[in-house]
Structure 1
Amino acid sequence: MSIENHDELATTPARETALSCVAAGIEAALPERVVADHVRVVDGTLVVSPAAGGDATDDLDSFSTVRLVGAGKGAGRLAAALVDVLDGRVDGGVVVADEPADAGPVDVCVGDHPVPTDRNVDAARRIRDCVADAPADALVLVALTGGASALLTLPAGALTVDDLAGATRDLLDSGASIDELNAVRKHCSAVKGGRLAGAGAPTRLVTLAVSDVVGDDPSVVGSGPTAPDSTTYTDALAVLDRYEVDAPAVREHLQRGVDGTEPETPRADDPAFDRADYHVLANAETALSAAATEARERGYEPLVLSSCIEGEACEAGRFHAAVAREASATGRPVRPPAVLLSGGECTVSVGGDGIGGPNLEFGLAAALALRGTDDVAVAAVDTDGRDGSTDAAGALVDGATVTDEGAARAALADNDSLGYLEERNAVPRTGATGTNVNDLRVVVVDRER
């Protein structure tokens, strides 16, 4: 995995180190690498070694057929890697991704993200049918990566994709967390919230996930199509109320669920999960560990602040800048040369008309707090290579990025972090990486004062 404008951005040792740590983190989470590290076939037995440890096995000869379905930004590449490992044993399937890919016998449909369209619906219907039509003695593998919540869209009841797209857009702009957004999505879907597993029961179902959510909750990754759900219609309706989102058709559907007219999502004791297993192959820790190793090999002391940073991007950016200043001034919490690392998923409450994303806003807020320093560089990227709805991976800033405080603050107020940073050589680009394990932030502190 390479950063397309690496040479242009790497103007100081600190900036170059930040970029190298970012690249190492993303590369460790690429589907091909993840499958090679965690999935293998030994004497006809499928062996899965999840990131959390421990092996799970399935005797491939005991199944009449093997199908592969999935969804997410990296689902095409994850499916291709799994097809290669199973070496001719996958008989067919369907996945939906936002980029085309060649996965052999598995059809890769291209959908839209983050707001779903009819393409997503057509693909999701094919995926559900593929699972529902599988014989009882089949093995169905489900490849999930970040972005599956939007890409795997099949409206429930009388809802349309436009109804869901409008609610999704309004909740994203309001700064709703992924858990909140997915509570709504699950209760407006015919496949999310465990309903895909229900469509396939009693077929053997094994989910292989690359997690893009804090805590790796299977019911939240991709809105949990193959996992039990603990949220309710009441919870989903409360999310719309909390963020004052109108969405009349969605509200009407959720209210029917509250009234008992629509069936609730399946719980953990539902028979749909009797033959369903779930394994996380990679997550934020995967990227953080690789970035830490890269930092150590370069002579820096790595310190992981947290893999669970959430909240407003600007506030998180200022916090990371404050920790960097503290390390530089006092050697706390780590003595420089050091690299501070964090993962998680920040949000932005959109009030302006500009173009940006959480990592771009994080970077611009950090740059404002670091102006005038000459020993710190900060990189913040979305590991899928696209921050928000932009084509930028995120931001790379230092103490020289902001020279006009007023303009920088105005850009933040207008949510135009991309416009401001693009003019100041502060926007790394990777293109679509094919993976997604949340945001990755690298703070390089070159020396102690």
Structure 2
Amino acid sequence: MSAYPPISEHLDDVASARAEGRRKMEWAAQHMPIMERVREEFREEKPLEGETIGMAMHVEAKTAILVETLADGGADVAVTGCNPLSTHDDVSAALDAHESITSYAKRGVGDEAYYEAIEAVIAHEPTITVDDGMDLVAAIHEDHPELIDGIVGGAEETTTGVHRLRAMDEDGALEYPVFAVNDTPMKRLFDNVHGTGESSLASIAMTTNLSWAGKDVVVAGFGYCGKGVARKAAGQNANVIVTEVEPRRALEAHMEGYDVMPMAEAAEMGDVFLTTTGNRDVIVEEHFEKMDDGVVLANAGHFDIEIDLEALAELAVDRYEAREGVDAYELEDGRRLNVVAEGRLVNLAAPVSLGHPVEVMDQSFGVQAVCVRELLECAHAETYEPGVHDVPDELDREIAEIKLAAEGVEYDSLTESQREYMDSWDHGT
């Protein structure tokens, strides 16, 4: 076992932290009917009995409900953070108090401690991985290939992680099956659109104390996350500008009524810039040189490489904390460019950030939980070969049905004749 200590050994007042973390978790649980249903099933049937689950996630109250659900299903769980600034230490401490959970997640760690915590999770020799960003999967393949034969499979939560996994799969380097949870409708249509849109804008507004109304807001990327940010910003009376590299998405943004232009042009116009691409070097030196004094720069992608902060630091003659969570970079001509949350995932890394709304994450984590169940149910049948797999549609529908029932929403079903018609090819005009 790793010598890296769990969260409880980092804190001065562990009991107080655990109590506060538990309070946050209880609030989240009240608003997560999907996870409540899944948790009841897992407690009764123990489908994860004897398994060890390694997790690298944003460790906060909603995630904690997923972690405890997996533990209640019979698994031993080791968890750490997937972003140095997204962990809530009190929630991490509350998880670590569970007899079947070890939490290594701690907020504000440097790169070395961040990866030491991932190594500590791997030292538990997981049979299943649950990841957000793919750092855990990458570390296992690169540094611990001897563990791969004992791993049933994994699940990946986010866009960036799925992109990395698909690249790994195309190279023939992914050696166990992983579900692309991010790509399933119950994730991308709600978590990516409503979750990212609402939580990113709320975090920026609370951190800066600035209004959206009348602002020129530049949204980099018009995938599901970018669509959500653009829609929510427009709903708060901002003027939205979209930048894109994919022509069909650019056309979609144009036909939805947004201004579409290259970042080089948008840089001269924007008041707030929010990147959602999952790629690197989206806002770089040539863009900084054109920006107005006082602009706000933030990132809603997974890693802190979308805004080139090294180039910005080289341009700056001074850097100081303008507000908690906001670093001002003062340029030689006196302009100040303000970066929120160190360019990290703004809806989780800003000081006031709480991540996606509880109801949204209830859906995403419900999918995660049933994917873990599916991997184990199908393990002996070898249904899933190494590689990236779409989440089976019946699992996604299962989560949607639980949510609709909890909301008291009824809906129609196909009749036999309608089902027959949809499955046939010989009914012409």
TM above 0.5, yes or no, is: no
Higher relative contact order (CA 8 A, sep 6+): 1
Report the TM range for the smaller structure's normalisation. 0.3 to 0.5
More helix by share: 2
